[in-house]
Amino acid sequence: MALDAHLAQVLQMMANPAAKPMHEGSPEEGRAAYLALTHGTRTPEQIAPVASVADAVVDGAAGPLKARIYRPEGAGPFPTVVYFHGGGYVIGDLDTHDNMCRDVCRGAKAVVVAVDYRLAPEHPFPAGIEDAIAAARWVVAHARELGGNDIVGVAGDSAGGNFSAVVSQQLRDAGINLAAQFLIYPAVDHAAAEYPSAEQNGKGYFLESDTMTWFYKHYASGVAETMDPRLAPIQAENLANLPPALVVTAEFDPLRDQGAAYAEALRAAGGKAELIPGPGMIHGFFDMGRWSPVAQDIIERSTRRFGEMLRGQ
């Protein structure tokens, strides 16, 4: 399928020959640019409405972490979802992913707890994933206070999809059963170059190969070639008995093939994994529904389906 016409306009809007590519800048510059593109481009009417939003604190691996709790309209009890934002483990925060968390809250009819985990390079691997595991454990322990029942799932996009997959594995090994995992164009294998989509879509579609290399250099320099499943959950020895997974991919995304491969690997291990492809979509489209009707349709369908999976449907 051709690139979505609305997203093609977005890419054209972002194309600035005078601007320095992210991989040539500092993490601080990358964070500021990402915040400006996401939170900074929203207009008031584009903010997805939910019943309430409140800042909070959850446990991390090395101390308290900032968090944000989104509650849906209606009467509970609701499932609770721990959300880990994307951004290559280097950029992104609670504000960049505010609308995405609102969409998950609305579509899944779940309480969403967004976690502001530590970022690289100030806190390289495994700090961020250790925070994610600790925060998920905290949410499981407080689920009845948050959502009102014992149903807990995880969700995340890109690097956050990596964290959601890893958390699902780590909690399974600890005897904690999550209800479902929502993996939005997840980064599940550091050997990205081995997948055709990495070469096909490595330039010109928002997330580029040079940027991915820059992310990994900051996050996991010196250990990225190991088979540590906390870096590459698709490399884990045991993929059985994991929570049902909903995997969303984008056609023009370098991560497309590894996301699809992870869904297939989960099914091959006897698990339940559903794949929702994103025809005409690019990496990051989950925050671009305000610009693309096709993107918005996928956002609504997938968040609704995730809500059903949380409830065992």
User: pLDDT digit string (tens) for 204-215?
Assistant: 999 999 999 999
**Separation CA 174–CA 222 (nearest Å):** 28
Confidence bin at 233 (pLDDT 50/70/90): very high
CATH code of the domain covering residue 298: 3.40.50.1820
User: pLDDT digit string (tens) for 23-43?
Assistant: 999 999 999 999 999 999 999
The whole-number pLDDT of residue 17 equals: 77
The whole-number pLDDT of residue 14 equals: 87
Confidence bin at 225 (pLDDT 50/70/90): low
Confidence bin at 300 (pLDDT 50/70/90): very high
Is the pLDDT at 197 greater than 70? The verdict is yes
**Separation CA 285–CA 7 (nearest Å):** 8
Is the pLDDT at 223 greater than 90? The verdict is no
The whole-number pLDDT of residue 228 equals: 87
Which positions are annotated as active-site residues? 158, 253, 283
The whole-number pLDDT of residue 100 equals: 98
Range of the domain at 29: 5-310
The residue among 130 and 193 whose pLDDT is bigger is 130
The whole-number pLDDT of residue 138 equals: 98
Contact of 253 with 282, CB cutoff 8 Å: yes
Contact of 278 with 250, CB cutoff 8 Å: yes
pTM summary value: 0.97
Average pLDDT for 259-277:
98
The whole-number pLDDT of residue 286 equals: 98
Is the pLDDT at 221 greater than 90? The verdict is no
Give the sheet arrangement for strand 111-115, strand by strand. Answer: 52-59, 64-71, 111-115, 78-84, 148-157, 181-184, 245-248, 273-276
Domain count, the chain: 1
